[in-house]
Amino acid sequence: MPSKYISLDKALYDAVLANSLRESPILEQLRIETAILPIAVMQISLENNNG
């Protein structure tokens, strides 16, 4: 029975990120401004927020 999973090498991982991550301009600006705050220690990454 063939495996239903494939391993991701760096090239494939980079291609997935380049074609799947989308951030609206307003959310990007919000992320940048929030990162400056002294209490900004628990922000999630774009990969975790993209869904």
The whole-angstrom separation of Cα 11 and Cα 26 is: 29
pLDDT digit string (tens) for 1-51?
677 888 889 999 899 888 887 888 898 898 889 889 888 787 777 777 765
pLDDT of residue 23: 82
Residue 46 buriedness (CB in 10 A; 0-12 / 13-18 / 19+): middle
Looking up tokens 């929030």, which residue turns up? 34
- Which three-class secondary structure state does DSSP give residue 38? coil
Name the residue ranges covered by the structural domains of the chain.
Answer: 10-49
pLDDT for the residue 50: 65
Confidence at residue 11, expressed as pLDDT on a 0 to 100 scale: 95
Convert the pLDDT of each residue in 35-49 to its tens digit. Answer: 898 887 877 777 777
